[in-house]
Structure 1
Amino acid sequence: MSIRNLSHLFEPSSVAVIGASDRPLSAGAVVMRNLLTGGFKGPIMPVNPHQQAVAGVLAYPRVEALPIVPDLAVLCTPGASVPELVGQLGRIGTRAAVVIATDVDRPAMLAAARQHGVRILGTGSLGVLVPRIGLMASFSHLQALPGKVALVSQSGELCGAVLDWARPHGIGFSHFISLGNGDDIDFADVLDYLANDDQTRAILLYIEQIRRRGDLVAAARAAARNKPLLLVRVPDHLEIRRPGAFLSEALATPEECFDATVRRSGALRVGDVDELFGAVETLARARAVPGNRLAVVSNGGGMAMMAQAEMDEPGGPRLAVLSDQTRQKLTTLLPAGTPIGNPLDLGLDADAKRYGEAVRTLTEAEEINAVLVVHAPNAMADPVAAAQAVIETQKRQHGAVLTAWVGEEAVAPARRLFAEAGLPTYATPGQAVRAFRHLVHYRRNQTMLMETPPSQWEGFAEARVLARPIVERGLLAPEGMLIDSEARALLAAYGIPIQAAERAASPEEAAAAAERLGFPVSLTLDRPDLARKTEAGAIALGLDTAEAVRTAALGIRRRVAADNPEANNAGFTVQRSLYRPEARLLIAGIACDPLFGPVIVFGEGGRAVEVPRDHTVGLPPLNLPLARSMIGRTRIARLLKASETRPAADRDAVAEVLVRLSRMLADNPEIVACDINPLFADDEGVVALDARVRVRSWEDSDRRRFAILPYPAELEENATMKDGTPIQLRPIRPEDEPAHADLIAKMTPQDLRMRFFGLVREVQHFQLARMTQIDYEREMAFIATRYDAEGNQETLGVVRTVVDPDNQRAELGILVRSDLKGTGLGHTLLDKIIRYQRVRGTGQIFAQIMSENMAMLRLARRAGFRPHPSGEHEVIELVLDLQNGPPEAS
């Protein structure tokens, strides 16, 4: 994955068309026509050995005959010729090519491309369009309008359809990119490029298939931090569902794992292309919303019911419950007899004043996150006046307002007013609610993007010690299955409450164990390879006597042995029956997706887990906010709340189980599957009744690697300042934000000017969040900390690097508290980051500093940096080459 040479593809100064032709409807003819009519300012050079000119432009017989080296070549030739042509282009210096053909020897093509650094868009690509520079290097049937949205698609057919749809809707693009088969350039490469393109305000992806994960998640997370990232993925409806050996494996489908990745990447997934562009419009026009509580106000009950019908998704939009204060305000403002509720029906005769007062009151209410205003035309109401009242009210209140003026001719002027005012407007209440859902999900996904769960919790050192021998024994067992007692011990080591049990080798031992534990008991055949023990008849519940236990044990062996003869020698697990009448039955577990790696599964548990399919999937590592978000996405989350007949379950205890599962997985990457089912949850907490775990030797593959890196606790180390003061050097964490703000507050204005190249009066929360909530895949920040007199951890300094996607150059920044200069802290921090980037294999570290910053210049020179002109006035670039041995000694 790399952005190397992508500028030649997206910003070429010259283009060659290999296989250019005048033959009607041929790819070579269409590409030439598009390039010539698109307005591209650079040379366009057709290559055709049989024609002197193509489309009136002088043609060249072969690649070597071209008068200048083209930045970009579009290959419109048969597939068999592509590898040789790529080699010829590479030898003359071309660095980007679009390959239209599909019948290509791809290994040969890629070998030729890599030898010369040629980037390939395709095979099977429709081409690339950059309307801003008039580049229409494509055989699409239409040109694209200029705009600020980039579309990246694997489907050429989809590209053509979108262009056909977008032009009459006035939608333009900064880039229009057809990946085709993505043999070289893929989604990750393009995301890395577009994330830093100042002409692109939003990125849209149309995904059919992802063959490899690579840097996709890191690239998506990096892009989503800068601008909205929205996508459509065509689900594989032909996927055959087979029961997994573990329930969690059966529940964690590829689609659900993909959705989990989208959520953690800060992106937004929508259903189709029309919804894709609608979501872009919504995010561009609507104000951000802090929650999912919606108020609906309309001039008719039917319209409000249409909106309410869209609110059925767990964790999605909900009708806000009006407070007594809000109800009282509405009662005094609206005509007598108006029913006060949500939705709020203003009546068919609702005039502009009534609309304005209702919207003002609802946007002021703290219990409401957004207001949907609906209007249906009738003879008693003026839609334009009502719209003007809503616009004026929103301007004064600055609340989140969405509108749905239903109809066509009568409401068209009102919709134009909303568009001019920048208020999102929709044709139906259902569309408006779906748009609000986009806002809710986008906000939540952006919040999840900023979560950086810890790599270690305090007190888990002992858990890791206890877990290792259990896991190692499991690696030697058939199929890597832990026996029941080992699975229970592993969970217990990580603090997951599990019901005590005894293992018995025979029916007689089972009876004796039952007498020790106390009746009633449950009895389970100890066969860890048996996935669905209830269906197999391997469980007996509520046994009250020793004789009942012996009889049940013999019956279990007989039933299971009918299909599994070796069950005649299997032992049993005996446990005291647990009486928790108010408990909800849950499942929690682990599975490994082939593409996105380990995932955590949570949902409704019990005997028929796969029937209701009420579950969700999340990417580890998890912290408590992420775990709570997982719980909230399930329907059973509602049943965890209190009702008239039973108290609320302890949701925090449930969330903690998910976090501890994530911790267990991070410490023991050999775990490939785990089921905790059922997990009882009530007001007393949680307890697991049964657990199954499978392990397998570690392998370095997408299936086993976390898609999102956890906090790298292994990089923590102790150090001392010159005066002997002990400090800790460690990666920055989100919870360091207050201490980071304090660090900046203790800097002198001059030091801040040197670091940030300008006067810094105040650093905002979002800026501090960006500094402390980092993606360790692409960025690293080490802080120096110590405890102050009150026992609080304070930040003394920070050093930071941001690495390009190719890992060639890392940009450096360093900040040491102004009163700690001369303590050696700057040298210690700089040494720490140099050692880290050297291990990462980074090519260079560079920093741009003001020429008057002599302290930083001296520090960098002692560490081996060399100054170079930066091309900017009063700015010096310092460069350290990490590939030529260690830096010089200071």
Structure 2
Amino acid sequence: MDAHPLNALFNPKAIAIFGASVTSSSVGALTYANLLEGGFRGKIYPVNPKHDLLGEVTCYKRAVDLPDGVDLAVIATPARVVPAILRDLGEAGIKHAIVLSAGFGEGANKDDRRGKALEAEAIAAARKYGIRFMGPNCVGLTRPWLGLNASFLRTQAPKGRLALVSQSGALLSAIADWAGPHHSGFSAMVSLGNSVNIDFGDVVEFLATDPKTEAILLYVEGVRDAPAFLSALRHAARLKPVIVVKSGRHAVSAKAAHTHTGALIGSDAVFDAAIERVGAVRADTLGQLFAAAEILANSKKANGKRLCIVTNGGGAGVLAADRAADLGLELPPLSDTTKEALDKILPPFWSHANPVDILGDATPDAYGAAVKAAVEDPNNDGVLVLLTPQAMTDNTAVARAVVDTLPKRRKKPVLTCWMGESTVTEARRLLSENGVPDFITPERAVEGFSYLAKHHRNRQLALEMPRALPPEAQPDYDGARMIIEGALSEGRKMLSDMESKALLRAFHVPVNMTIEAADPQAALVSAETLGFPIAMKINSPDVSHKTDVGGVKINIAHATSVKRAFHEIVANTRRALPEATIHGVTVEPMARLSQTRELVVGASRDPVFGPTILFGAGGTMVEVMRDNAVALPPLNSVLANRLINRTRVAKALDQFRDYAPADRAAIVDVLKRVSKIVSELPEVLSLDINPLMAGPDGVIAVDARIEVARPPASDGVYDHMAIHPYPRHLMHQTYLTDGTPLMIRPIRTDDADHVQDFTRNLSEEARLMRFMGQVNELSPDMLMQFTQLDYRREMALVAMAELEGREVQVGVARYVINPDERTCEFAIVVSDRIQHQGLGTKLMKGLFHAAGQHGLEVIEGSVLKKNTPMLRLMKELGFTQRPDPDDRELVIVERWL
């Protein structure tokens, strides 16, 4: 695979600085000085038409005058000349730039038409010449490992293993100043500025595989491309911790939706759900970001949330334990082996529990032995060492004992907190210099560990992807679309009650039967048809919340009450909303479930992240109680249960008093089906089921409201989704030439056993051709890589056949999209049991179809020269072939799509 498209930006060999100067305090002068003083070993060329020389260095007039080999331009000129400079870069063949210049309609000048016009010109010039640029209005980029400081930061950041990406230049400056005294270093510091060309997704994508980066910190003010952002974060979080801070936590959508759900979901709750879903971890404050940087700079991943605390002060241990409980961390009991070891070295009055209180007069040797025992205890995933400076405590000697005790290759994180200030300064310096994260307070230390624990938890959640429903549970997609089309053809955005429930029924959501009645007589006939008791509700497209206008009557038990109820409902609504269009009432039977709980299930369209799913306590006081949680679709059972558990009403679903447990599986099923609705029907903007009655015998949707609109004609199948759902549209039933039924479908997370069996049963020659080496069995990591896909960046199609009475995988073809987002690399292997039956051709044509829907232009791969059958298949499918210049045993095959 070719180098990442941003490789020349992050690892340049020659740089041109436009607006360079040595005689002023301008951005160009400061940036040029930083480039010269940073230790960069490549060439640096100043460009400024006002100068022939800068000192004794030749200064160039324009990009076209530069020597060959420049791969990065840093632009620090007035905004008005930036578009022209980008065009010059294009003519000179320079494909990467950092635009430090401001004046493009940002900040207080958002309505600056001239600035926005310049921004549009810059974007157009970059698009025309294929230039990728960072900014404008950014502080720049530093790569301390390269001695590259292409920024106007006043402080040189030390080198290390953290990468920081920020939309705020001021924050970047503050952290650069903070890093040195705290022994934290950076692999990269990136200022995105207005991010009109290079955005978070692009940078995180590069950093995910950057060998110098072990953890990524993000400061986010806004997200432009949610699918790219989340896909990149999911990729990166699989490989290394990603911590995100977002400003504007209490901003809410400016436009309220027509449903309860729209009023309940705030943009910050959606952002939280998105970050958690892709495996990253969110920090709420700048202080927490510093805590995250402190621990990530020196610690590896944690494998869980179990923390052991070692302390010489009971109070400090309690403070840490309280904060751990706040954050959902566990303080597990000590193992018997650990207790026995500590009994031999500690006074008899030590706590014999976690926190491990080794008492105020603990010696350095006692500290060292206690920490060693805690680190070796299999019951925990990390150790926090606390010290309160007491009269008999040698703070620095204890720090030395802890450092000497720790193994060079730590399998779990060890954090420290030497409380106080003046008497512990030397001890803290000693800890930090030896790579031991040190915190000022117990609470901040526990927060630091929580980031590692959350990363482990969220990384597991990111692997959860829904599978396709079995055939008998498949929704009636065509029927649902016809209902929506009927409303849209009449110019309506809101489905009627009957239409809303019909759409839910098409997706197998249990609903309460509803009949529309235009007059009192029709209402009476409907009531008799359904059977008493009944409920009657106003039927009006202009009424969102019927109870608020007196438009609901329930428990109507007799025919004599029906006509009176009709007139009262209509009169109440006209009095409350004189302009409302009224079509009569709806009549429905009272829900016949017993011991029910009132819930709300909804969906709304976030302007950034698209469809969101809400669950919580329902009923008429839903907005007042605000007991709800939000998740991003698609959902499976694990994710749906997690969504439920984040609410208080979840406890009411269990047995309490004389109430039997509600049918939780039925609630989960409704959540999954609502997720399917918004995933498969981009026309659905919002959906509200309130209440969803849930009892021991099942669930029923009593009231439903759905808002629809036509999606943009340019959208692809799942372009409205931030997280790509299972691509069921790529499932294809076909047959082998001998008549054996064959299902070709995208791979699922639960295919791991099929994939492992398939690999084991390949012949030695087939394994060699596929893996280009001897692979007899796939490791757990390889199985995860092969089955747990982000369908937005890769695809794998498996061929499943029923052989000898069971479903067997007989072939697989996959591609991974290259970072240029226009080409992909493929691989294919067919079972030795299914040869010469056209399976390879079927799988490759399926890949062509999927790649075409991704908008890819070229599919390419590497084939062993001696794999004659595969090369023959490639020729039949229209691939060109050429020798691999780096490996004479390989042939590169390529096909335009």
Q: What range is the shorter-chain TM-score in?
A: 0.7 to 0.9
For the structure 1 residues 601 and 853, does the alpha-carbon distance in structure 2 shift closer, same or farther, using more than 3 Å as the test?
A: same
CA distance in structure 2 between the aligned counterparts of 1:274 and 1:765, rounded to whole angstroms: 37
Q: Which residue of 1 aligns with 2:93?
A: 93
Secondary structure of 2:810's counterpart equals strand
Q: Which residue of 2 aligns with 1:199?
A: 212
Asked if structure 2 preserves the Cα contact closer than 8 Å seen for 1:456 and 1:713, the reply is: no
- Any idea what the Cα deviations from partners look like across 1:505-547, whole Å, max 9, x if unmatched? 3445545655665555443222343222233222234445445
- Any idea what the Cα deviations from partners look like across 1:366-404, whole Å, max 9, x if unmatched? 7x7666565545457787669968996999996776555
Asked if structure 1 preserves the Cα contact closer than 8 Å seen for 2:810 and 2:833, the reply is: no
Q: Which residue of 1 aligns with 2:840?
A: 826
CA distance in structure 2 between the aligned counterparts of 1:576 and 1:340, rounded to whole angstroms: 62
Q: Which residue of 1 aligns with 2:328?
A: 317
Secondary structure of 1:741's counterpart equals helix
Asked if structure 2 preserves the Cα contact closer than 8 Å seen for 1:604 and 1:615, the reply is: yes
TM-fit CA distance, 1:126: 1.6
Asked if structure 2 preserves the Cα contact closer than 8 Å seen for 1:391 and 1:418, the reply is: no
Moved more, 209-218 or 490-499: 209-218
Q: Which residue of 2 aligns with 1:802?
A: 816
Match of 2:828 among 814, 834, 845: 814
CA distance in structure 1 between the aligned counterparts of 2:35 and 2:506, rounded to whole angstroms: 66
Q: Which residue of 2 aligns with 1:656?
A: 669
- Any idea what the Cα deviations from partners look like across 1:563-582, whole Å, max 9, x if unmatched? 32256844223444447674
CA distance in structure 2 between the aligned counterparts of 1:629 and 1:788, rounded to whole angstroms: 38
Q: Which residue of 1 aligns with 2:779?
A: 764
For the structure 1 residues 705 and 3, does the alpha-carbon distance in structure 2 shift closer, same or farther, using more than 3 Å as the test?
A: farther
- Any idea what the Cα deviations from partners look like across 1:600-623, whole Å, max 9, x if unmatched? 111222222223332222222211
Amino acid at match of 2:448: A
For the structure 1 residues 84 and 256, does the alpha-carbon distance in structure 2 shift closer, same or farther, using more than 3 Å as the test?
A: same
Secondary structure of 2:504's counterpart equals helix
Moved more, 330-339 or 507-516: 330-339
Secondary structure of 2:98's counterpart equals strand
Q: Which residue of 1 aligns with 2:874?
A: 860
Asked if structure 1 preserves the Cα contact closer than 8 Å seen for 2:338 and 2:373, the reply is: no
For the structure 1 residues 229 and 68, does the alpha-carbon distance in structure 2 shift closer, same or farther, using more than 3 Å as the test?
A: same
Alignment of 1:447 onto 2:460: yes
For the structure 1 residues 94 and 516, does the alpha-carbon distance in structure 2 shift closer, same or farther, using more than 3 Å as the test?
A: closer
CA distance in structure 2 between the aligned counterparts of 1:156 and 1:531, rounded to whole angstroms: 45
Matches within 5 A, 1:491-890: 491-507=504-520, 509-510=522-523, 513-514=526-527, 517=530, 520-565=533-578, 569-578=582-591, 582-643=595-656, 646-700=659-713, 705-789=720-804, 791-838=805-852, 840-882=854-896
For the structure 1 residues 475 and 698, does the alpha-carbon distance in structure 2 shift closer, same or farther, using more than 3 Å as the test?
A: same
TM-fit CA distance, 1:14: 1.9
Give identity over the alignment, percent.
Answer: 37
Alignment of 1:50 onto 2:50: yes
CA distance in structure 1 between the aligned counterparts of 2:832 and 2:200, rounded to whole angstroms: 43
CA distance in structure 1 between the aligned counterparts of 2:857 and 2:843, rounded to whole angstroms: 19
Matches within 5 A, 1:331-480: 374-378=386-390, 404-408=417-421, 426-461=439-474, 463-477=476-490, 479-480=492-493
For the structure 1 residues 586 and 391, does the alpha-carbon distance in structure 2 shift closer, same or farther, using more than 3 Å as the test?
A: farther
- TM normalised by structure 1 equals 0.88
For the structure 1 residues 84 and 399, does the alpha-carbon distance in structure 2 shift closer, same or farther, using more than 3 Å as the test?
A: closer
Asked if structure 2 preserves the Cα contact closer than 8 Å seen for 1:17 and 1:75, the reply is: yes
TM-fit CA distance, 1:742: 0.8
Match of 1:163 among 176, 183, 186: 176
- Any idea what the Cα deviations from partners look like across 1:442-490, whole Å, max 9, x if unmatched? 2232123222223444324453244233323332456422221222222
TM-fit CA distance, 1:720: 4.0
TM-fit CA distance, 1:427: 3.5
Asked if structure 2 preserves the Cα contact closer than 8 Å seen for 1:488 and 1:498, the reply is: yes
For the structure 1 residues 9 and 381, does the alpha-carbon distance in structure 2 shift closer, same or farther, using more than 3 Å as the test?
A: closer
For the structure 1 residues 681 and 372, does the alpha-carbon distance in structure 2 shift closer, same or farther, using more than 3 Å as the test?
A: farther
- Any idea what the Cα deviations from partners look like across 1:648-695, whole Å, max 9, x if unmatched? 433322221110111223343221111111223343332222111122
Structure 2: give runs of 5+ residues left out of the alignment: 105-117
CA distance in structure 2 between the aligned counterparts of 1:376 and 1:701, rounded to whole angstroms: 63
CA distance in structure 2 between the aligned counterparts of 1:831 and 1:182, rounded to whole angstroms: 38
CA distance in structure 2 between the aligned counterparts of 1:370 and 1:680, rounded to whole angstroms: 44
Amino acid at match of 1:78: P
CA distance in structure 2 between the aligned counterparts of 1:650 and 1:230, rounded to whole angstroms: 37
Matches within 5 A, 1:33-182: 33-68=33-68, 70-104=70-104, 105-182=118-195
TM-fit CA distance, 1:624: 1.0
Asked if structure 1 preserves the Cα contact closer than 8 Å seen for 2:549 and 2:576, the reply is: no
TM-fit CA distance, 1:339: 8.1
Asked if structure 1 preserves the Cα contact closer than 8 Å seen for 2:291 and 2:444, the reply is: no
Amino acid at match of 2:194: N
Structure 1: give runs of 5+ residues left out of the alignment: 884-890
For the structure 1 residues 690 and 417, does the alpha-carbon distance in structure 2 shift closer, same or farther, using more than 3 Å as the test?
A: farther
Secondary structure of 2:624's counterpart equals coil
Amino acid at match of 2:145: R
Match of 1:216 among 210, 229, 251: 229
Asked if structure 1 preserves the Cα contact closer than 8 Å seen for 2:294 and 2:448, the reply is: no
- Any idea what the Cα deviations from partners look like across 1:68-97, whole Å, max 9, x if unmatched? 463222222212222222222321222222
Moved more, 542-551 or 48-57: 542-551
Secondary structure of 1:168's counterpart equals helix
For the structure 1 residues 326 and 46, does the alpha-carbon distance in structure 2 shift closer, same or farther, using more than 3 Å as the test?
A: closer
Amino acid at match of 1:691: A
Secondary structure of 1:244's counterpart equals coil
CA distance in structure 1 between the aligned counterparts of 2:614 and 2:151, rounded to whole angstroms: 44
TM-fit CA distance, 1:240: 6.5
Secondary structure of 2:723's counterpart equals coil
How many matched pairs? 878
Alignment of 1:255 onto 2:264: no
Secondary structure of 1:112's counterpart equals helix
Amino acid at match of 1:636: V
Asked if structure 2 preserves the Cα contact closer than 8 Å seen for 1:456 and 1:663, the reply is: no
Secondary structure of 1:230's counterpart equals strand
CA distance in structure 2 between the aligned counterparts of 1:357 and 1:304, rounded to whole angstroms: 15
Alignment of 1:228 onto 2:244: no
Q: Please report the RMSD computed on the Cα atoms of aligned residues, expressed in angstroms.
A: 3.9
CA distance in structure 2 between the aligned counterparts of 1:594 and 1:504, rounded to whole angstroms: 37
CA distance in structure 2 between the aligned counterparts of 1:206 and 1:787, rounded to whole angstroms: 51
CA distance in structure 1 between the aligned counterparts of 2:706 and 2:813, rounded to whole angstroms: 41
CA distance in structure 1 between the aligned counterparts of 2:27 and 2:295, rounded to whole angstroms: 37
Amino acid at match of 1:40: F
Amino acid at match of 1:526: N
Secondary structure of 2:137's counterpart equals coil
Moved more, 839-848 or 591-600: 839-848
Secondary structure of 1:496's counterpart equals coil
Asked if structure 1 preserves the Cα contact closer than 8 Å seen for 2:214 and 2:240, the reply is: yes
CA distance in structure 1 between the aligned counterparts of 2:511 and 2:332, rounded to whole angstroms: 39
Asked if structure 2 preserves the Cα contact closer than 8 Å seen for 1:681 and 1:687, the reply is: yes
TM-fit CA distance, 1:734: 0.9
Moved more, 850-859 or 157-166: 850-859
Amino acid at match of 1:868: R
Asked if structure 2 preserves the Cα contact closer than 8 Å seen for 1:650 and 1:684, the reply is: yes
CA distance in structure 2 between the aligned counterparts of 1:527 and 1:178, rounded to whole angstroms: 52
Asked if structure 1 preserves the Cα contact closer than 8 Å seen for 2:166 and 2:190, the reply is: yes
Asked if structure 2 preserves the Cα contact closer than 8 Å seen for 1:266 and 1:446, the reply is: yes
Matches within 5 A, 1:254-293: 254-282=267-295, 292=305
